Chains A and B, each alone.
Chain A
Amino acid sequence: MKNVVIILLLLIVVKQLGAQDFFIITNGIVSFNETQLEVGEAGNDISANLRSNAVYLSVNSNYYWNMNNERWRIYIHKSDINWDDQIQLTVKRTGKGQKYWGGKPYIQGGNSNVRINDNPTYFFNGKDKVLNIPVKFRVKKLSLTMGAEDFETDIVFTIYDN
């Protein structure tokens, strides 16, 4: 009976550790200033180098307390709805956000443009719960030769516990 109680306690501890799993919450809608899609003079292609507004990622966990030693890493890829492979899509982290319990957040990487492909690419990593990490997208190589079209893709952020 004593053994069973010890094992049950162990089980609770392990479950509690398992409950530290991180997840991401996004806040905001990606939008581009499409007045930047200018041809200028007849004969020219679109001079497209579009930058989005910032959308915000928060890394959170079901675990309530500080998780200073708990690390995570975020990967990014796209899942196309209607897209043209010539279009170059990149993302960049433009800030560090705020630490959930206050203080300076620990985040590394992602502050230069990362190309978004169909396969997951490493974006950045960090520790603990962090709120409102701003990221911006950039679109290049749009061309009139693609035709008048609505292009759409889902950006997928995947967070892994380290």
Chain B
Amino acid sequence: MKYRVLNIVVLFLLFQSLSEKARGQWSEERINLGISIPEVAIIDIEYMGSKSLEFEVVPPVISGGAPEVQQTNNTQLWINYSSAVASWGGKRSIVAQVINGNLPSGLSLFVQASSYRGKGKGELGSSVGKTAISSQPRPIVTNIGSCYTGNGLNNGHSLDFSLDITDFEKVTAMEATEFTILYTITDN
């Protein structure tokens, strides 16, 4: 009786070992892999023709008429940008401001960014519409998330400028005036 029990136990162990072997063995090993996309915010202006805009205030053709402002050169400007914001971060804007000089008195410069166009992807920005530019930064494109516009002309937002006489009394004859417009992509 004692041997019979022992036999059964040993046979059970043997069966279990064989079935383990028949099942095939496996084991796992893990290794961690990580990669980070950093915050990115870069912008540039692509242009056709000239990067400079030239305006001229033309005297009225009839006496008593209002002078006109005409753009004298033909140019096309496009804003390109690439942006990566953190998931907990907000949106970005593009602001424009006049630096290195002043607008002539009595004149106001306006810029209007078009709606987005091009080969980009992601959360692209929206135009604010016609915006007066001064020495203070003013947003011209807002709600920029993680995206890229595509590079070159016809990608991003084209810029239309207009120079309006807002206070005729202050307009005086003067030499050519130059100033620079600075565009910055900024966190909201």
Verify A148–B44 contact, CB threshold 8 A. no
Interface residues of B in 121-142 (CB under 8 A from A): 121-123
Question: In the docked arrangement, what's the CA distance between A17 and B24, Å?
Answer: 11
Query: Is B173 at the interface (CB under 8 A from chain A)?
Result: no
Residues in B with CB closer than 8 Å to A57 are 29
Q: How distant is B12 from chain A, measured CB to nearest CB, in Å?
A: 10
Question: In the docked arrangement, what's the CA distance between A30 and B35, Å?
Answer: 10
Interface residue stretch chosen among B53-61, B63-71, B79-87, B163-171: B79-87
Verify B40–A3 contact, CB threshold 8 A. no
Verify A18–B21 contact, CB threshold 8 A. yes
Residues in A with CB closer than 8 Å to B17 are 11, 14-15, 18
Query: Is A118 at the interface (CB under 8 A from chain B)?
Result: no
Q: Which residue of B lies closest to A79 (CB)?
A: B30
Task: Digitize B13-28: 1 where CB-to-A-CB distance is under 8 Å, 0 elsewhere.
Answer: 1100110110011111
Q: How many residues of B contact A (CB 8 A)?
A: 56
Q: How large is the interface on A (under 10, 10 to 19, 20 to 34, 35 or more residues)?
A: 35 or more
Query: Is A156 at the interface (CB under 8 A from chain B)?
Result: yes
Residues in A with CB closer than 8 Å to B35 are 32, 34, 50, 87, 139, 142, 150-152
Residues in B with CB closer than 8 Å to A65 are none
Verify A149–B21 contact, CB threshold 8 A. no
Interface residues of B in 90-120 (CB under 8 A from A): 118, 120
Question: In the docked arrangement, what's the CA distance between A162 and B24, Å?
Answer: 7
Residues in B with CB closer than 8 Å to A42 are 42-44, 80-82, 149, 151
Verify A147–B44 contact, CB threshold 8 A. no
Query: Is B158 at the interface (CB under 8 A from chain A)?
Result: no
* A144/B148 contact (C-beta < 8 A), A1-B3, A34-B36, A42-B80 known: yes
* A4/B6 contact (C-beta < 8 A), A37-B37, A161-B24 known: yes
Give B residues with C-beta under 8 Å from A.
3, 6-7, 10-11, 13-14, 17-18, 20-21, 24-40, 42-44, 46, 80-87, 89, 118, 120-123, 145-152, 155-156
Instruction: Give 7 A-B contacts (CB < 8 Å), ordered by A residue.
Output: A23-B29, A24-B27, A24-B29, A43-B152, A143-B122, A147-B145, A161-B25
Give A residues with C-beta under 8 Å from B.
1, 3-4, 7-8, 10-11, 14-15, 17-18, 21-26, 29-30, 32, 34, 37, 39, 41-46, 50, 52, 55, 57, 78-79, 87, 89, 137, 139, 142-162
Instruction: Taking A57-B29, A150-B35 as given, write out 16 further A-B residue pairs in contact, using a Cβ cutoff of 8 Å, ordered by the A residue number.
Output: A4-B10, A11-B10, A14-B18, A18-B21, A43-B148, A44-B82, A139-B35, A142-B35, A144-B147, A145-B121, A148-B86, A149-B37, A153-B33, A153-B34, A157-B30, A159-B27
